[in-house]
């Protein structure tokens, strides 16, 4: 008997058995994982269409659907929500107004509006940059920054050099950058600032531990806090186009402002929990309150929203404002891709006689967003919403004014990503001075715009719009 052939046959049979066992184990494990994910999807509050899509993907294409869901499927960071609950401990204040927006936001767990605030809006990009660098130069103890984009250009370099200089002078400087927004930065460019003592952390890097958040959840907030008492915030990122213009072009039209007073406490708590999540160190709250300053009594309410906040307070504030409006709603946003609720709120407001003015750039910096918005804009025109297009210049500002009694400005665009996926923060303004300033600013911008005239879109164009919406804004 040829034992060598027999042994070879036995080895082949064992290898086949091992392969069979491995594939069976993988199939059982994959089935169990798919069932667990399907059960999780059915328990989660999400649109039925989204639930059906994820379930079909996981069952029909598990090798693709399961990794996709694990990467993109959730829009809330539960551990971070628990940390954000500390904000009310650090900033314990109750609603003292009868305003429905203030009431709904405090009912959702946010700190109420406060009156001990000073607000100063920047007139343009150079003014905003000058104020920012002046704040850095005046810093004595701390500089805390959360920024979506820091770009390697003249503006980014000036800011980074200023931070390095303050760090060498003994100021504690912390810089939190978003892993996608500032993805193009190399550590070599950041090294001089780090060597000077600037601490840098990344919010959910593109390549990260799977349990440290989902790749599609971004920190889009713009927060600069100096010495725990002065805030610089709004819609501007740290790059040329937001301040001085890029390659000889005009700077983008944007909004930012300085704030001092009790509202800074809430921003400080937001930053600390964001830093804790990204840097992996515990934060002790409540924080030491900043020294008291003389204020103009501006009533301001901080509205954080996103994966790290329970519910969707920014969305709730927007809907409440639309339903409460009596005369006029003005909205400025670079990208307009609303969900059904926002779209219907605007249409119903216009149909009951409220003047609704929506101001957009004629061409934004994202072609895909311009395609996606067309379907919504056609519907709004049919409901008598006024749509205005600013030609030749990118509008990056995010603002809303309702009846000259409430206004917002901050980091959030009026699109699905900002409303439901990004970490955002805006300020709600209730005082006459700030509301009037924003009303006049929006109206001046509207006067530079032209009415929107939609072009005819055939079946192919409508199909493209639908594909863009599904592929680009539903993950």
Specify whether 267 is located in the same domain as 414.
Answer: no
Q: Are residues 126 and 40 in the same domain?
A: no
Cα–Cα distance, 332 to 100 (Å, whole number):
22
Is residue 336 domain-shared with residue 371, that is, in the same domain?
Answer: yes
SS3 percent helix, strand, coil of the chain, rounded to 5, is: 45, 20, 35
Q: Which residue has the tokens 């343009």?
A: 124
DSSP secondary structure code for residue 2 in this structure: -
Q: What token pair was written down for 306?
A: 């996103």
Residues 294 and 330 in one domain: no
Contact at 8 Å (CB) between 256 and 398? no
Q: How far apart are CA 196 and CA 186, in angstroms?
A: 17
Give the mean model confidence (pLDDT) for residues 333-362. Answer: 96
- Per-residue pLDDT averaged across 298-313, rounded? 92
Looking at the fold, whether 89 and 206 belong to one and the same domain comes out as: yes
Return the ∠ at Cα 363 (arms to 361 and 364), rounded to 5°.
Answer: 75
Dist. CA 103–CA 428, nearest whole Å: 12
Q: Residue 104 falls within a domain, yes or no?
A: no
Q: H or E segment at 118?
A: strand 117-121
| Residue 305 in domain | no
Instruction: Determine phi and psi for 11, rounding to 5 degrees.
Output: -60, -40
Helix or strand holding residue 164 (H, E): helix 154-168
150 and 164 together in one domain:
yes
Q: Tell me, what's the pLDDT at 284?
A: 52
For the chain, give the number of residues.
475
What's the whole-number average pLDDT of the chain? 85
Q: Which residues contact 387 (CB under 8 A, 6 or more apart)?
A: 358, 360, 377, 380, 381, 451, 452
CA angle 338, 345, 95 (to 5 degrees): 100
**292 found inside a domain:** yes
In a domain, 109, yes or no: no
Which CATH number do you get for residue 181? 3.30.870.10
Q: What is the pTM of this model?
A: 0.85
At a CB cut-off of 8 Å and minimum separation 6, what does 216 contact?
71, 72, 421, 475
pLDDT at 280: 67
Q: What is the pLDDT of residues 420-472, one digit of tens each?
A: 889 999 999 999 999 999 999 999 999 999 999 998 888 888 888 788 777 65
Q: Are residues 57 and 85 in the same domain?
A: no
pLDDT digits (tens, 9 = 90+) for 274-292: 998 887 665 555 455 555 5
Could you give the CA distance from residue 427 to residue 69 in angstroms, rounded to a whole number?
33
Q: Is the peptide bond before 428 cis (omega within 30 degrees of 0)?
A: no
The number of folded domains in the chain is: 3
408 and 439 part of one domain: yes
On whether both 155 and 206 belong to a single domain, the answer is yes
CA–CA gap between residue 304 and residue 312 (Å, rounded): 9
Report which DSSP code applies to 358.
E
pLDDT at site 356: 98
Residue 422 maps to a domain: yes
In a domain, 308, yes or no: no
Same domain, 288 and 317: no
Domain boundary, last residue among 263, 298, 333:
298
Give the integer Cα–Cα distance in Å for 67 and 39: 16
367: domain range? 313-473
Q: Give the CA count within 13 Å in the CB-facing half-sphere of 432.
A: 0
Token reading at 320: 């409440």
d(CA 143, CA 224): 7
Indicate whether 27 pLDDT > 90.
no
* Residue 306 belongs to a domain: no
pLDDT of residue 89: 42
Q: What is the pLDDT of residue 92?
A: 53
């Amino acid at each position: 008997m040829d034992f060598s052939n027999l042994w070879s046959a036995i080895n082949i049979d064992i290898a086949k058995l091992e392969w069979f066992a491995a594939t069976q184990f993988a199939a059982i494990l994959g089935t169990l994982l798919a069932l667990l994910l399907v059960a999780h999807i059915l328990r989660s509050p999400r649109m039925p269409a989204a639930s059906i899509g994820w379930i079909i993907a996981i069952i029909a294409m598990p090798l693709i659907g399961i990794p996709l869901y694990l990467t993109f499927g959730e829009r809330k960071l539960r551990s971070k929500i628990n940390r954000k609950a500390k904000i009310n401990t650090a900033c314990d204040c109750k609603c003292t107004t009868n305003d429905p927006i203030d009431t709904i936001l405090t009912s959702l767990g946010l700190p109420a509006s406060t009156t001990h605030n000073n607000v100063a809006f920047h007139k343009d990009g150079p003014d905003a940059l000058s104020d920012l660098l002046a704040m850095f130069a005046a810093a004595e103890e701390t500089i805390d920054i959360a920024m979506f984009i820091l770009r390697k250009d003249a503006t980014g370099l000036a800011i980074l050099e200023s931070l390095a200089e303050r760090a060498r002078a003994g100021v504690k400087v912390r810089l939190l950058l978003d892993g996608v927004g500032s993805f193009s930065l190399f550590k070599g460019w950041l090294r001089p600032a780090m060597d000077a003592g600037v601490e840098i952390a990344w919010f959910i890097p593109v390549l990260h531990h799977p349990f440290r958040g989902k790749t599609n959840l971004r920190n889009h907030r713009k927060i600069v806090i100096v010495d725990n008492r002065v805030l610089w915030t709004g819609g501007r990122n740290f790059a040329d186009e937001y301040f001085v213009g890029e390659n000889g072009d005009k700077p983008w039209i944007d909004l930012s402002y300085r704030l001092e007073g009790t509202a800074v406490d809430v921003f400080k708590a937001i930053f600390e929990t964001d830093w804790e999540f990204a840097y992996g160190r515990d934060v002790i709250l409540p924080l030491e309150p900043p020294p008291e300053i003389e204020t103009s009594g501006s009533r301001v309410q901080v509205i954080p929203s996103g994966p790290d906040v329970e519910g969707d307070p920014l969305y709730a504030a927007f809907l409440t404002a639309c339903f409460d409006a009596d005369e006029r709603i003005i909205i400025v946003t670079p990208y307009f891709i609303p969900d059904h609720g926002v779209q219907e709120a605007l249409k119903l407001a216009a149909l009951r006689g409220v003047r609704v003015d929506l101001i957009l750039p004629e061409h934004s910096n994202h072609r895909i967003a311009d395609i996606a918005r067309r379907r919504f804009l056609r519907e709004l025109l049919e409901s008598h919403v006024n749509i205005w297009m600013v030609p030749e210049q990118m509008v990056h500002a995010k603002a809303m004014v309702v009846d000259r009694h409430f206004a917002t400005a901050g980091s959030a665009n009026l699109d699905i990503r900002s409303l439901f996926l990004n970490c955002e923060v805006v300020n709600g303004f209730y005082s006459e001075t700030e509301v009037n300033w924003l009303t006049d600013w929006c109206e001046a911008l509207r006067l530079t715009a032209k009415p929107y005239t939609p072009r005819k879109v055939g079946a192919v164009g409508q199909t493209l719009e639908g594909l863009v919406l599904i592929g680009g804004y539903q993950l």
